[in-house]
Amino acid sequence: MINLGVLISGRGSNLQAIIDACESGKIPAKVAVVISNVATAGGLERAKKHNIPVVVIDNRQYKDKNTYELEIVKALQAHKVELVCLAGYMRIVGQVLLEHFPMKMINIHPSLLPSFPGLHAQKQALDHGVLITGCTVHYVDSGCDTGPIIIQSAVPIMEKDDENKLAERILAQEHLIYPQAIKLIAEGKLKLEGRKVRIK
């Protein structure tokens, strides 16, 4: 059983998928704390419903990124977190978090990386005219959505797609692959060779 710390900024549907997978015993993990940089994030209510401790750490209240992230690190350590899961956490991770959780932090992104990193990945895919996009779970490194890739799922783009319709179909895949990736890590099945992630 490993302790997860989930970082969010909004709705928290991926957080919900992770909580459900933990509670149903599909993954040998427990959400030990949910941390949001946004006080009104919907994900906080989801966590409370499952009696999971929540912490709001508003980045705007800190003089710089290091001080802000140190506060997050303290909360993660206080809850004995072993793996940090970014789930719709809309801040770029800085040096402090990375140093405290090296290769112990993963993220979900709504595109087939390395295509369309950063914000509005679904719109970027539509605007570019790709026929297939999807989602990616990857380790977090110092770049923006650049870390070693753990799992991807492809989603075809339909003629009548707009950003919302596409985002919804991608989200359904996100909810499947995020718990799968956590399961692989919790069971100690992943091994890193350079930037390639191998399943043992």
The set of catalytic residues is 109
Residue 11 interacts with ligand GAR (CB under 6 A)?
Answer: yes
Could you tell me where the DSSP H helices lie in the chain?
13-23, 42-49, 65-78, 95-100, 121-128, 163-186
> Residue 81 in contact with residue 5, Cβ under 8 Å?
yes
Please list the residues that pair with 138 across neighbouring strands: 107, 149
Q: Of the ranges 6-14, 60-68, 155-163, 184-192, which one interacts with ligand GAR (CB under 6 A)?
A: 6-14
Residue 14 interacts with ligand GAR (CB under 6 A)?
Answer: yes
**Residue 156, helix vs strand vs coil:** strand
Residue 77 CA to residue 96 CA, distance in Å, equals 13
Q: Of the ranges 65-73, 96-104, 106-114, 126-134, which one interacts with ligand GAR (CB under 6 A)?
A: 106-114
**Binding residues among 110-129 for ligand GAR as defined by CB under 6 A:** 110, 121
Orientation of helix 163-186 relative to helix 121-128, angle to 10°:
120
Residue 183 interacts with ligand GAR (CB under 6 A)?
Answer: no
**Residue 74, helix vs strand vs coil:** helix
Residue 68 CA to residue 18 CA, distance in Å, equals 25
Residue among 5, 12, 147, 179 that touches ligand GAR (CB under 6 A): 12
Residue 10 interacts with ligand GAR (CB under 6 A)?
Answer: yes
Residue 13 interacts with ligand GAR (CB under 6 A)?
Answer: yes
> Residue 85 in contact with residue 76, Cβ under 8 Å?
no
Residue 88 interacts with ligand GAR (CB under 6 A)?
Answer: yes
Residue 5 interacts with ligand GAR (CB under 6 A)?
Answer: no
Q: Of the ranges 55-63, 74-82, 105-113, 156-164, which one interacts with ligand GAR (CB under 6 A)?
A: 105-113
- To ligand GAR, the closest distance from the beta carbon of 78 in angstroms equals 24
Q: Of the ranges 56-64, 68-76, 102-110, 181-189, which one interacts with ligand GAR (CB under 6 A)?
A: 102-110
**Binding residues among 50-79 for ligand GAR as defined by CB under 6 A:** none
Helices vs. strands in the chain: H and E counts, helices first: 6, 9
> Residue 114 in contact with residue 66, Cβ under 8 Å?
no
List interacting residues with ligand GAR (CB under 6 A): 10-14, 43, 87-88, 108-110, 121, 171, 174
